[in-house]
Amino acid sequence: MSEITMHGTTILAVRKDGTTAMCGDGQVTLGNTVIKGDARKVRRIAGGRVLAGFAGSTADAFTLLERFEAKLGQFPNDLRRAAVELAKDWRNDKILRRLEAMMLVADKAGLYLLSGNGDVIEPHEDAIAIGSGGSYAYAAARAFLQSSNLTAPEIAENSLKIAGDICIYTNQTLTLEVVE
């Protein structure tokens, strides 16, 4: 029996002028078939002050999201610390280590990419992306940040639309969340 590979997500976080926006597409693909077009992969957590977006296996992503919310409960005003503590658990726990997902988390001051390798990456630019179309969305966001007067939400949305035009695993059904 062959293994089925899941694809189908692009998540982008952008910060500009004190506003952080996170945008994700809604496509879920199983093998070479689109099985859902309106999944919501970007969420507001911690009373709406933190944004989280995920790519990868849905069940794994929800497990990580729950764990991250628990870390935010332990470190309520320190997004970086919560991210680092989750990454440490993810890397060291035998069960968590097998999870196949990535997360972006952001608040008004920080943007972080979290992975099962123990990575907590804070970009030196004001944009970061994950998923199948992440490279396309990231490149578009950087170009918009350098050469436009668009707001963070406009940059995030326009960048995802560009990724959706290029990446077959990214669609135009977007979820956009903003914190200021």
- Please list the active-site residues: 9
Structure tokens at 14: 């952008």
CA angle 71, 74, 77 (to 5 degrees): 95
β strands within the chain, DSSP E: 6-7, 10-16, 19-25, 28-30, 33-36, 42-45, 50-56, 101-106, 111-114, 120-121, 127-131, 174-179
Residue 19 Ramachandran class (φ > 0 left, ψ -120 to 50 alpha, else beta): beta
CA distance 68 to 174: 23
